[in-house]
Amino acid sequence: MEKIWQVMPKIDNDFIKKYPEYNRVVLQLLFNRNLKDKKEMEKFLNPSADDFFDPFLFNQMAAGVDLIIKHIKAGNKIVVYGDYDADGVTSTAILSEVLTILKAKIEIYIPDRASEGYGLNKKAIDEFIKNDLKLIITVDGGIRNKEEVEYAREKGLDIIITDHHVAPEEKDLPGCLLINPNVEKENYPFKNLAGAGVAAKLAEAIISQAKLGEGIKQKLREQILDLAAVGTIADCVSLLGENRILVKEGLKVLNKNKRVGLGELIKVAQVNGQIEEWNIGFQIAPRLNAAGRMEHANTAFELLVTKNQEEAEALARRLNNRNMDRQKITEEILAAIEKKITTGAEDKIIIGVCPLDKEKEQEVWNEGVIGLVAGKLCDKYYRPALVITKGKDGYKGSGRSIGEFNIIAALEEGKEFLERYGGHPAACGFSLKEKNLEKFTDKMKKLAEIKLAKADLRPKLEIEAELDLGEVDANLIKDIVSFSPFGQDNPKPKFVSFGAQIRDMVNMGIDGQHIKFRFNGLWAVAFGRSEEWKNFKIGDKVDIVYYAENNNFNGRSEVQLKLVDVKMNNE
């Protein structure tokens, strides 16, 4: 599908003159991130751990820490109630690790995705009561569990909800403490923490009140930053502001002092050299997520906290195998849905519902991967996508969306048909009864038709700046690297050059599936695109969108382009 190229507005000369210490490209990239003040620019380009916010800025942090210390001193059992994705598992590991070091009686509980679903549930609460647990601390969840919170409080349990998800319309969670940057009237200045970021803030606050030497406290604060970085990257939250500092500092810890489990996972993922945010997002996090998608997330948790080398090796191999299973199943479900998509994709929203295996009477699609399938459909067709599978007690679904369609707002409008739901404007999860399936899907289709009536539903490439190819050199690459770590709201910059002449072209790979072009002195590579771009020839003038980067090979480093899109130049 042809993509729309959107070059961001060019900075004016007044802005360039105002900051002569920065070159034009750096200023353009800062401007694109809405960084227009010298102080903001410096903080972005030179993030420092000194700029972390005080965790006690959370409205109820002090009360939460006091309650935890009270239960520790009383010798009461505390349960850290997590979630089954990478953010939830790292959050659970952060808090349980710190509380264990501080001699708390800790148990952890991560619900099963298929049988329990997301968030608190009454059956688990009953087990906590039976086992004489006195305090529940949720991580990466709980904000939508009003009924379950009330039930636990009636049974005499104390609860601290730590979460980062958007609160529902009915916001009140009576009788519990709430640490969530996204609740109404919360004073904490940074709103985009992941669950792991919130857990790290609570851990930091607890550490600060411990009767330990300052050196030990600092070591404890640092040792959880690797997990906080992994969870933050995995959850695709904004990588501006405090998250940028957290990930930058966490990567330092991860590269300096790898946990046994993460070290083994890095080996099986075949990550070589310096670990960067890309490695976590595309190699580490998917393997952690595979545990909760394919079996139980406890495997991922155990990997993160183990100190035993042999156990770490076995758990890492197991997660790697589950990840390969996950990839295979994802592609099968994607193919099944794509068979039913009309060639022109006229619908404003893609909804895939799994058939029931009438012989076995069981779900055909693994609900652990339906979010991934929805994401792939959304990316490929540039439409909101819902993928819904049959479960034991009805249907469960997952959705991903585009900027023009707020998926969680759509669920709010269709909540009369749902049992449970939650998420963000770009991603959601939900469950519903079979009798409401058709009504719900009809509602989503109608909402999409209305809200996307005038939208241009072609994939969009957001381009940071136009460059002359002569500007692409080692100094530019150095400037680009200073903007890392890249992620949500701080993407790796894409550039455009118009009228570049192809001087040479070569197919690469065993089957010739890759291609590279030479433009003047620069080589530009594209993986898996040789068939798509086979009609270009030497001498053609083309417009190109690309990343500018270093190609490090056999001890040599040279500047190259990584192609994103190519069009014939028609001028």
CA distance 229 to 71: 29
In angstroms, the CA 166 to CA 176 distance is 17
109 and 79 in contact (C-beta within 8 Å)?
A: yes
Distance CA 32, CA 43 (A): 16
Q: For residue 365, give the nearest of 319, 407, 397 by alpha carbon.
A: 397
Selection from 570, 560, 548, 404 nearest residue 481 by Cα: 548
Residue 424, pLDDT score: 79
**CA dihedral defined by 514, 288, 276, 495, rounded to 10 degrees?**
50
SS (H, E, C) 227-289: HHHHHHHHCCCECCHHHHHHHHHHHHHHHHCCCHHHHHHHHHCCCCCCCCHHHHHHHHHHHHH
Please list, residue by residue across 320-340, b when 16 or more beta carbons sit within 10 angstroms of its beta carbon and e when fewer do.
bebbebbeebbeebbeebeee
Task: List the structure tokens of 56.
Answer: 């006690």
- What pLDDT is stored for residue 37 in this prediction? 92
Instruction: Look at residue 357 and give its three-state secondary structure.
Output: strand
- Domains (ranges, CATH) in the chain? 4-8+461-568 (2.40.50.460), 55-238 (3.90.1640.30), 258-326 (no CATH), 333-451 (3.10.310.30)
Spatial distance between the Cα atoms of 86 and 326, rounded to a whole number of angstroms: 15
Look-up: residue for tokens 């952890």?
108
Which residues, given as ranges, of the chain have pLDDT below 70?
170-171, 342-346, 356-363, 555
Query: pTM for this one?
Result: 0.90
* Pairing, β 394-400 against β 427-432: antiparallel
Interior CA angle at 565 toward 561 and 567, to 5°?
115
Distance between alpha carbon 215 and the CA centroid of its chain, in Å? Answer: 33
Residue 384, pLDDT score: 96
